[in-house]
C-alpha cells in the first residue's frame, strides 16, 4: 500500500527531510539528554515477508522493538516461524499483548475493543483469555504490557490489567481516561504508517512536530504498522534507525528496559 508522505522517496530519503530530522534530533539530544525512544510494531502474528524485513532491520541496527501480538491471530506454527529472533535478539525484542481479537465493540464513536460499551465480565474474560493464550504459545517470552487496538481503552480495562499483574499500557500521547496510579502508559507520539493527511507537505510537517513533541517528553513512542509498509516506508524507517544508532544522547529502549527503570 502506498503511503502518501513517502511519495518523495525513491532510492534515498530526500536531503531536506534528512536534514530537518537530523537537526530536530541533535537539538533535542543537546538540550535534554538522553532522548529516550522506543519503537512499537502493531498487529503482529503472521511471519510475513514484511515482518521478517522489519525484524532484520532492527537486528542490523541493534535497536529494541516492542512487538504487539494479537492473541487470537497467534498460533504455534506462526510462533515457531518467529522463534529464531528470540536467540538472535533476546535483548531487543519485547513481545506483548495487543487486544484479544482486534475487534471493535463500540456502536458509536471511535473504534475500541476494550472500551466502555462492554460489561466488566466480558472485558475481564477477553483479557484473561488473551493472556493465557499468549503465555501458552510464547511461554516465558511474554512481557506483561498491554497495547489496546486503536490505542484506546476504558478505565475498567486498565484496572483489570493492573489486577492481573500487568506492568503498564501503551496508548496515544494524551490518551483519556488517564491511567491509574502506579500503572505507566508508554505513550505513542509518532505515527509512521497510519497517517490521515492527504497533502504530503502537511504530513511531513506534522511528523516533524510529533518527533519534537516526543523528544521533549520522558520517552518518545514511535508506532509501526509493518503490514502497510512499502519499500519507501522501509527506507525511511532505516534512515531513522541509522540516525538514532549513531546519535550520542539518544537512547533506544524496550518495555523491559522501561519497566526495570521505574
The contact set with Zn ion (CB under 5 A) reads 42-43, 149
Residue pair 1/228 in contact (Cβ under 8 Å)? The answer is: yes
The minimum distance between CB 219 and Zn ion, in angstroms, equals 21
CB 47 within 8 A of CB 81: yes
Residue number with the smallest Cβ distance to Zn ion: 42
> Closest CB to Zn ion among 73 and 239?
73
5: Cβ–Cβ under 8 A, 6 or more apart, which residues?
Answer: 195, 197, 200, 203, 204, 207
CB of 149 or CB of 168, closer to Zn ion: 149
3-state secondary structure at position 256: helix
| Residue closer to Zn ion, measured from CB, 147 or 247 | 147
Residue 38, beta-bridge partner list: 221, 253
Q: Residue 16 Cβ, how far from Zn ion at the closest point, in Å? A: 32
The whole-angstrom separation of Cα 107 and Cα 103 is: 12
Return the H-helix or E-strand segment holding 235.
Answer: helix 231-246
Nearest approach, Cβ of 225 to Zn ion (angstroms)? Answer: 8
Comparison of 29 and 127: residue with beta carbon closer to Zn ion = 127
Q: Least separation, in Å, of the C-beta of 149 and Zn ion? A: 5
Amino acid at each position: 500500500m502506498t503511503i502518501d508522505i513517502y511519495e518523495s522517496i525513491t532510492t534515498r530519503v530526500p536531503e531536506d527531510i534528512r536534514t530537518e530530522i537530523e537537526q530536530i534530533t541533535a537539538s533535542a539530544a543537546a538540550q535534554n539528554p538522553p532522548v529516550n525512544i522506543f519503537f512499537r510494531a502493531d498487529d503482529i502474528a503472521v511471519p510475513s515477508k514484511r515482518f521478517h524485513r522489519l525484524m532484520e532491520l532492527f537486528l542490523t541496527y541493534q535497536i529494541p522493538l516492542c512487538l504487539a501480538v494479537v492473541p487470537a491471530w497467534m498460533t504455534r506454527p506462526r510462533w515457531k516461524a518467529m522463534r529464531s529472533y528470540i536467540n538472535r535478539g533476546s535483548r531487543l525484542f519485547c513481545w506483548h499483548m495487543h487486544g484479544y481479537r482486534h475487534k471493535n465493540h463500540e456502536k458509536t464513536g471511535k473504534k475500541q475493543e476494550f472500551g466502555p460499551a462492554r460489561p466488566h465480565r466480558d472485558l475481564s474474560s477477553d483479557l484473561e483469555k488473551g493472556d493465557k493464550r499468549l503465555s501458552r504459545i510464547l511461554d516465558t517470552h511474554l512481557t506483561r504490557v498491554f497495547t489496546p487496538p486503536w490505542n484506546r481503552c476504558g478505565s475498567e480495562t486498565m484496572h483489570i490489567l493492573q489486577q492481573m499483574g500487568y506492568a503498564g499500557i501503551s496508548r496515544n500521547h494524551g490518551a483519556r481516561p488517564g491511567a491509574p496510579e502506579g500503572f505507566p502508559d508508554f505513550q505513542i507520539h509518532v505515527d509512521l504508517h497510519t497517517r490521515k493527511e492527504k497533502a504530503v507537505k502537511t504530513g511531513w510537517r506534522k511528523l516533524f512536530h510529533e518527533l519534537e513533541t516526543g523528544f521533549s517528553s520522558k520517552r518518545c513512542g514511535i508506532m509501526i504498522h509493518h503490514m502497510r509498509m512499502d519499500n519507501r516506508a522501509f527506507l525511511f524507517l532505516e534512515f531513522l534507525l541509522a540516525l538514532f544508532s549513531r546519535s550520542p544522547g539518544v537512547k533506544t529502549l524496550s518495555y523491559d528496559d522501561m519497566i526495570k527503570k521505574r
